[in-house]
Structure 1
Amino acid sequence: MVITYYGLECFKIQFGDLVLALNPQGKNSEHKTPKFGADISFVSTAHPDMNGAESVSFGERKPFVIQGPGEYELKGITARGFLTETSYDGEKRNNTAYKISLEGMTLVFLGALSNAALPAVVKSALEDADILFVPVGGGGVLDARSAHKLSVSLEPKVIIPMHYGKEGSRELTQFLKESGEESVRPIEKLTLKKKDIEGKKGEVVVLQIS
């Protein structure tokens, strides 16, 4: 599995020939749109900064779009979406947190989550992931302290912060401080297999913005 970060909440996840996109920026977003093709695009929030599935339609790849709560199964992956909330861009709206399983690995993507007080049934379902993607930027999504507390409570093996602006930003620095991971340095991409994360507990990985 190879994970690449494209800023804000957009990630490319490649597993063999399968490519997933998480919250790609749309053409009407003020943020830079990604340039890659995806087979499946997950959208957590109906906002141009996060629902740009058209941006990851490239070449022969035209993504199947997963948006909203429910259960999904296609192309060898299973996913569940859980209704949560966000205040991104100054407006309360629905946000979907996803639990994605493929090839024996589990990813939890919190999207633009703004409220760390998850319903018990949702929190239980999102626990013990291999990889957790968590927003840390504040301003309508979780701030650094809330993001850290929620991350610890969900007990993932690896934590990838997102939605913090630029590398070295105050929000990211604060999150790393809360996590006791001030020495972490950004890496270009994360390449791993299931065996690589066995025994890990809450390790923070910061990805460079591609």
Structure 2
Amino acid sequence: MEISWLGHSCFVIKGKEKTIITDPYYPNLGYSLGEPKADIVTLSHLHPGHSYVEGVANNPKQIKLPGECEIGGVFITGIATFHDNERGTIRGKNTVYNIEMDGMALCHLGDLGHPLMPGMVDELGVIDILFLPVGEVSTIPVSTAVETVKQLNPHIVIPMHYKTDVISRSLEPVDKFLKEMGIRDAEPRNRLSITESSLPSGTQVVLLSYISN
């Protein structure tokens, strides 16, 4: 499996058989989405920074609601959550996705806006790779992000939804999260190539570089 970051909450996840793109964004965000190809697109919610399906080539299957589905050997479970800590009364709903492919379990939290609800840790199960929002604005604060890592205990954490030199939105940079996790001098990589057998034994934070298209 190969994972690359197109900016914000958007990742290209290339498996053996299928390619998934998460939360593609509209052009006004500052990043350049390009015209990536995918078989499947997941949308955590329908705000412009997370729902530009038109920008993805190959007529992908769209997943945008809670529920279960299987597409070509990829199993996806959407779990209903909220975009804020007021049960969605401020920013609406959010869908967390648990994706099983190539023998690994990936979890994309979207714009989760609250601590994990009772029973959700058990519902998500074992997580190998966690895509975690860490930019605080309109999502969980860094303290909750760190607590979420402890609760889910993934092998790999990939930060997302944070301030960079490219994005036009006001978010917090990734540094605060890295500091709270006790990480110094994190070296971004262009992409993550990973297999079930190469997963680290503990929890490792992997910082990905934004790849412009």
Q: Same fold (TM over 0.5)?
A: yes
The DSSP-based 3-state class of the residue aligned with 1:44 is coil
Task: Give the match for residue 179 of structure 1.
Answer: 181
How far apart in 1 are the matches of 2:90 and 2:41?
Answer: 23
For 2:163, give the aligned amino acid.
G
Match of 2:65 in 1: 68
Using CA pairs under 8 Å that are at least 6 residues apart, name the structure with larger relative contact order, 1 or 2: 2
- For 1:34 and 1:85, the matched residues in 2 are separated by 26
**2:137 and 2:200 mapped to 1: Cα distance?**
34
| Contact 1:112–1:135 (Cα < 8 Å) also in 2 | yes
> 1:150 pairs with 148, 158, 169, which one?
148
Give the aligned partner of residue 207 of structure 1.
Answer: 208
Task: Name 1:160's counterpart in structure 2.
Answer: 158
Q: Which runs of 5+ in 2 are unaligned?
A: 166-170
In the alignment, the residues of structure 2 paired with residue 30 and residue 156 of structure 1 have an alpha-carbon distance, to the nearest angstrom, of: 29
Residue in 2 that maps onto 1:126:
124
Distance 2:65 2:150 in 1: 25
Equivalent residue number for residue 141 of structure 1: 139
TM-score, normalised with respect to structure 2: 0.89
Show the counterpart of 2:168: none
Amino acid in the other structure paired with 2:39:
D
Deviation at 1:129, TM superposition (A): 0.6
CA distance in 2, matches of 1:6, 1:134: 15
> Are 1:3 and 2:7 matched, yes or no?
no
Aligned-residue offset at 1:148: 1.0
**Residues in 2 aligned to 1:72 and 1:45: alpha-carbon distance in whole angstroms:** 18
The code of the aligned residue for 2:6 comes to: Y
Gaps of 5+ in 1: none
C-alpha deviation, 1:18, in angstroms: 1.8
Query: Take 2:121 and 2:30, find their aligned partners in 1: how far apart are those partners?
Result: 30
Query: What is the identity, as a one-letter code, of the residue corresponding to 1:56?
Result: V
Q: How far 1:182 moved relative to its partner?
A: 1.7
Matched residue, 1:12:
12
- Provide Cα deviations, 1:118-168, integer angstroms capped at 9, x if missing partner: 22222212242110000001111122221111111111010001011217x
- What secondary structure is seen at the aligned counterpart in 1 of 2:97? strand
Q: TM-score, normalization: structure 1?
A: 0.90
3-state SS of 1:161 partner:
strand
Aligned residues: CA RMSD: 1.9
Distance 2:191 2:29 in 1: 24
| Distance in 1 separating the partners of 2:134 and 2:141 | 5
- The equivalent residue for 1:26 is 26
CA offset digits 1:84-115 (Å, max 9, x no partner) = 11149x94210000100012110001001110
Q: Secondary structure at the match of 2:37?
A: coil
Q: Secondary structure at the match of 2:148?
A: helix
Q: Output the CA distance in 1 between the equivalents of 2:112 and 2:30.
A: 19
Q: Which residue of 2 aligns with 1:42?
A: 42
Task: Write the distance in 2 (CA, Å) between the matches of 1:52 and 1:202.
Answer: 32
Contact 1:25 1:31 (8 Å CA) reproduced: no
User: Which residue matches 2:104?
Assistant: 105
Whether the 8 Å CA contact 2:135–2:161 is kept in 1: the answer is yes
